[in-house]
Amino acid sequence: MIKATLKKKISPRVVINGHPWIFANEVNTVDGEVDPGDIVEVYTHDKKFVGKGYINPASQILIRLLTRDKNETINEDFFYRRLLQAWNYRQQIGYSENCRLIFGEADLLPQLIIDKFNDYFVIQTLALGIDKWKPAIVAALNKIFTPKGIYERNDVPVRELEGLQQIKGFLSEPFDTKITINENGLKFLVDIENGQKTGYFLDQQDNRRAIQHIVKGADVLGAFTYTGTFEIHAAAYGAKSVLGLDISENAVAQANRNAKLNGVENIVKFEAENAFDKLKQWAKEGRQYDVVMLDPPSFTKTRENIQKAITGYKEINLRGMKLVKPGGFLVTSSCTNLVQPDLFLEIIQMAAKDARRKIRQVCFQPQSADHPIVWGWENTHYLKFLIIQVD
């Protein structure tokens, strides 16, 4: 077995906080001939065992740990046990029909994502060391569930940093990749093959319920709607009118189909528009809504661009707030882990100051619990969902 020895001075992340990432500059020596993706044993400078994980010399994160147990062998059965554990946990906390079955690091399976949409599974293997185990992961899914289909959405640019190609396709017999899921008593079409990410944003599934009371009888504006999930929830919860904007024609077409599927097409309309422009224009024109909902994409994936992201969030929330009637509500999200919760609240506070509005917090919560937050591992708490009353 190849052995990696850490430097004496490394960040407390790995050894004390138990985070699975080991950066190349934290490793002193690697003994043995390394094939990218190999399993290696990691030791501290004074020869204490740290864990076993996969190595990729092409990646800045040289090693990602899979286990802290010296006696655990990484083989097909290991992946079966990990998937079963994750599935048991999801059921224990009340998620079974649709859930993120594996949330990478938080499930101790770095860079593996598996979303379960009733009997269908969508997989992403975002690092070489986990990609190698794809057959074992698929075997485990087949053993635990009776999947109607398994699909890989590895058309993700980060794979290139690992020397992997972007690909997508079936990992089971081919099936119709346009499926329907139930969420909170509503139906949504999920396009597994061509939708964004894995096809659907499960991380907002609980937050969509949080708008239930504030939208009754309301005129609602939603921006960054994707397939219209929040907006269709709003209509089902009794909104008077709902207008949703997304820049993607495909998303808008699917959102309109979803509205029909739920019989709310007379209440909800979706339009393909640039939300930045429209919100600015409508705020200038003095349009007013009872509820404005914003769920923009991540404005940055790198720390270097963090200032740009802060400016983006402030700007969009400022425009959103201006469109809220006094006493109405702003429902706003941020999905980048680089903007941590405190910073997000600060940004909203700055926007309120600029808009000269007083705000009162209704709720502030993270992603749904099927995407577990491991305390001390910042990147596992990535979604911020806030409802405020705007006076």
Which residue in 166, 191, 167 sits closest to 181, CA to CA? Answer: 191
Phi/psi of residue 222, nearest 5 degrees: -115, 135
Q: How far is the CB of 274 from ligand SAH (least distance, A)?
A: 4
Q: How far is the CB of 335 from ligand SAH (least distance, A)?
A: 8
Which residue in 184, 270, 273, 255 sits closest to 220, CA to CA? Answer: 270
Q: How far is the CB of 316 from ligand SAH (least distance, A)?
A: 9
> 45-75 burial by CB neighbour count: b if 16+ within 10 A, else e?
eeeeebbbbbbbeebebbbbbbbeeeeeebe
Kindly tell me which of 62 and 294 has the beta carbon lying closer to ligand SAH: 294
Kindly tell me which of 131 and 295 has the beta carbon lying closer to ligand SAH: 295
Q: What is the CA radius of gyration of the chain?
A: 22
Please, which residues bridge with residue 39 across strands? 54
Kindly tell me which of 308 and 358 has the beta carbon lying closer to ligand SAH: 308
Kindly tell me which of 10 and 318 has the beta carbon lying closer to ligand SAH: 318
CB 143 within 8 A of CB 121: no
CA distances from 291 to 212, 231, 384 (A): 12, 11, 18
Kindly tell me which of 79 and 201 has the beta carbon lying closer to ligand SAH: 201
Kindly tell me which of 30 and 245 has the beta carbon lying closer to ligand SAH: 245
Token output for 90: 């999801």
Token output for 106: 């938080």
CB 278 within 8 A of CB 245: yes
Give the integer Cα–Cα distance in Å for 64 and 326.
50
Kindly tell me which of 139 and 247 has the beta carbon lying closer to ligand SAH: 247
Kindly tell me which of 78 and 385 has the beta carbon lying closer to ligand SAH: 385
Residue type present at position 89? Y
| Chain residues that interact with ligand SAH, rule: CB under 6 A | 196, 201, 204, 224-227, 229-230, 245-248, 251, 274-276, 295-297
Give the integer Cα–Cα distance in Å for 365 and 127.
30
Q: How far is the CB of 157 from ligand SAH (least distance, A)?
A: 16
